[in-house]
Structure 1
Amino acid sequence: GSVAADMAWLHQSRGSPRLVLVVVCVALLLDNMLLTVESSCLQDSVFLEKENVRVGLLFASKALVQLLVNPFVGPLTNRVGYHIPMFAGFIIMFVSTIMFAFSGTYALLFFARSLQGIGSSFSSVAGLGMLASVYTDDEERGVAMGVALGGLAMGVLIGAPFGSVMYDFVGKSAPFLILAFLAMFDGALQLCILQPSKISPGWMVPTSQSPSVRPSAGSLCFANMGVAILEPTLPIWMMQTMCSPKWQLDLDLLVEPEGCLCFCRWLCSMLGMFIVGISLLCVPFATNIYGLIGPNGGLGFAIGMVDSSMMAIMGYLVDIRHASVYGSVYAIADVALCMGFAIGPSTGGALVQAVGFPCLMVFIGVINILYAPLCFLLRNPTVREEKMETEE
């Protein structure tokens, strides 16, 4: 009887917005935990000052691959729906996680990290698109995006300390095997809940032409670039200036990303970018790990403001263009995020060697402060879009 009841419950739950939110949340959590667990384990194995550039490239490889794959995933989800790409993303992530557990050379790590980029592209574009399609009310969708991005933030938050502790006390492959188990759980959830989509929505108006998408994408890119640059460079700078012990190097990023729910979205994004800029300017003034708590906390809170506001704005932009097909717009959003995470680490290492860590922080901080006023363009997208429709 209980089995029949469970089956009935599963049947009712299929495609329910809350369970879709759980699946997407766990997928984003996993992706970002894997990302930061790798970073913390890499610091152990290959971190030296002269390694700045190689480590930066290794960090950036995932985002670079994701950048190349994203433009194909958007149109693919428009053709086959969100469920198949989402599941494909899970399988690729699982393989990548297992590879990390057992790879010892730079080349293998590079390959596993790049493979993760492909999986990540499928999961995030399909996941966010699926969320936008099941939460049709704009306000509810804003909250759901905030929760899903909270999962992403949580992954960034707990990944590094979790990886560091497991690596030191259990062994190199332990954190990855636990994440592989988590991935299995998410895959099983997906199989139970998500029914293959029968819709074939056809092609969407090319969203990148929309005037409001460009400032949104730029905002996502520059705000996240700040955090991306810190990931490989801050631990090395701490080692040099603060003589920090190993366990502190991962705690420096602990107070970072927080999910954030807000309703005046353009204002949230603008304030978020100002706070990102100011926080980055404050980082070089820290003389010990406690001095980093303020700037990193500000950075995490502000990134949450920018990301959750922009993801919700982008879903809304699709709605007002009368074609509710979200794959393409979230592919654009993901490309913007990946630009930040690809340019950040790959150039960060080299720039630190050229101009020094404090100058780099000032440079990226000032870019964020100067870009912030452009969020004003998102104040009333409906009117702007209508103007564009009439011009066409």
Structure 2
Amino acid sequence: MMECGPCMWFKEKRESRKLVLVVVFVALLLDNMLFTVVVPIIPTFLYDTEYINTSAAQLSSHTPAINSTFISIISLHDNSTFWTGAVHNGDIKNESQEVLKDGPCYSGKSFLREENVRVGLLFASKAILQLMINPLVGLVTNRVGYDPPMFCGFIIMFLSTIMFAFSGTYTLLFLARSLQGIGSAFSTVAGLGMLANVYTDDYERGQAMGIALGGLALGVLTGAPFGSVMYEFVGKTAPFLILALLALLDGALQLCILRPSTFSPGSAAPTSYLTLLKDPYIMVAAGSLCIANMAIGILEPTLPIWMMETMCAPNWQLGLAFLPASISYLLCTNLFGTLAHKMGRWLCSLLGMIVVGISLLCLPLAVNIYGLIGPNAGIGIALGMVDSSIMPIMGYLVDLRHTSVYGGIYAISDIALCLGYALGPSSGGAIAKAIGFSWLMVIVGILNILYSPLCILLRNPPAKEEKLAILNQECSMQTRTYMTQSTLPDLSLSDHSDDEMNTPTNSTKMTPR
């Protein structure tokens, strides 16, 4: 029975490295779209549902005479709140009556300051759960292969997206964000491990990692602006339902290309987590990932609230503020995926951390959204340099110093990223509340600059003695094979057809290149 054309195509192309790269690209894209789409939505949604509704209820109970007038004004609080009539009850001192006369702005400044902590904890919940699940996912990939965990990640991400769409309270949103962290752990560790497994050449691996991180960058690029615009003009549910539909398409793609029902454990015994964590070079690389990405983790909950406090920014601007960082990150992950190999990945990551620090120091100087373009673009460029350099370095360090099994090392890489995204929002919100947004940027910026010289250690990491012996043995075997082929060239003629052997051009002996 003949197979259909598409079935034959998929059967032939399933082993294609490019299609594996496409699957990982799409998975990281959707994961990070969901990761950032909530950034502009959650602060304003909580503000609208908790502060505005509570203020309206309080004023309604105190001033029944102006009840209908107040509610009609609050319904226009889409960043253009104003009073059309005088309030005759002068003894009402509720904070919701604060109106800036020099233009539309948000009232309830104390509520916004308190919201820094709550929103920070909500955003950090994903990273905390992902941090806890990553070691388990690394062990699972070593035992069953990369395909089943990848598909599990899709299922969990889909459920999280649906939960976001229909959650109306802080508690449910917190649970949805935590569930997203579990799905992201499966997708990221399995995806990066799969790429490192199929791209064994260091140069090709760097290119593939750069393209895959481009999917991550594209998700970050489109997520925040998409979320802010959709929330402003359509509502909270619509953007998450669209992402759920895209997630279903991703699941269908994985079913066609991967084999999620097949267990394919590796033949080599993986290096233990404890051994990997004791490696100082791996720890330096992981620290670079953590501290550099902590910058964007801190900005996600604090920058929108700072813009609401100081710039009176409307909803749609809260997501667009991240656009320069996302665009520059998208461009630089692809650019430096190739360029970092030529200039030295250690140097690329070192310069990237310095640029992160300088950009953070410049960020509080902005007085409007246009002043944020330069610093945010600098952060995106720098993170593209760091991520596209460190991810291939992780695989290279395992090849050089440990067993070439990649589930554990990319679990550690994702743990480093999660630490940055967990410590950033959770501590950043509290620090911003205590000493202000500007000092928070100074602290994190200086931390990046001080850590950057450690990247010099990644310039020429030594191979361990036992690994070096294996590499020397493989090299000597290749040399003996080459010498045998060069001294007995006529044996190569057995690979040619009879017609080729009878031609005059092939009657001469082959010489080694």
- Could you tell me the TM-score, scaled by structure 1's length? 0.96
Q: Which residue of 2 aligns with 1:16?
A: 16
Q: Are residues 1:168 and 2:248 paired?
A: no
Distance 2:154 2:175 in 1: 17
Q: Which residue of 1 aligns with 2:293?
A: 224
Distance 2:457 2:465 in 1: 14
SS, match of residue 325 in structure 1: coil
Q: Residues 93-108 of structure 1: matches in 2 within 5 Å?
A: 93-108=157-172
Larger radius of gyration: 2
Distance 1:147 1:222 in 2: 23
Q: Which residue of 2 aligns with 1:109?
A: 173
Distance 2:276 2:324 in 1: 35
- Cα shift at 1:211: 2.3
Q: Which residue of 1 aligns with 2:145?
A: 81
SS, match of residue 323 in structure 2: coil
Q: Are residues 1:243 and 2:323 paired?
A: no
CA contact (8 A) 2:133 2:182 kept: yes
1:120-155: CA deviations, max 9, x gaps? 000000000001101111101101101111111111
Distance 2:4 2:211 in 1: 32
- Cα shift at 1:2: 11
- Cα shift at 1:286: 1.1
Q: Which residue of 1 aligns with 2:485?
A: none
Higher mean alpha-carbon deviation, 178-187 vs 253-262, is at 253-262
CA contact (8 A) 1:75 1:203 kept: no
Q: Are residues 1:254 and 2:334 paired?
A: no
Distance 2:148 2:27 in 1: 14
Distance 1:344 1:322 in 2: 31
SS, match of residue 12 in structure 2: helix
Distance 2:446 2:136 in 1: 33
Distance 1:163 1:242 in 2: 20
Distance 1:96 1:151 in 2: 20
Q: Which residue of 2 aligns with 1:27?
A: 27
Residues 1:140 and 1:197: Cα distance change in structure 2 (over 3 Å): farther
- Number of aligned residue pairs: 389
Code of the aligned partner of 1:203: P
Q: Which residue of 1 aligns with 2:271?
A: 204
Q: Are residues 1:280 and 2:369 paired?
A: no
CA contact (8 A) 1:211 1:385 kept: no
CA contact (8 A) 2:325 2:379 kept: yes
Residues 1:105 and 1:3: Cα distance change in structure 2 (over 3 Å): farther
- Cα shift at 1:255: 1.0
Distance 1:335 1:349 in 2: 21
- Cα shift at 1:387: 9.4
Give the structure, 1 or 2, with the largest relative contact order (CA under 8 Å, sep 6 or more).
1
Distance 2:235 2:368 in 1: 29
Higher mean alpha-carbon deviation, 35-44 vs 109-118, is at 35-44
Q: Which residue of 2 aligns with 1:370?
A: 450
Q: Residues 26-175 of structure 1: matches in 2 within 5 Å?
A: 26-47=26-47, 48-175=112-239
Higher mean alpha-carbon deviation, 2-11 vs 276-285, is at 2-11
Distance 1:197 1:373 in 2: 43
Give the RMSD, CA atoms, in angstroms: 1.7
- Cα shift at 1:209: 2.1
- Could you tell me the TM-score, scaled by structure 2's length? 0.73
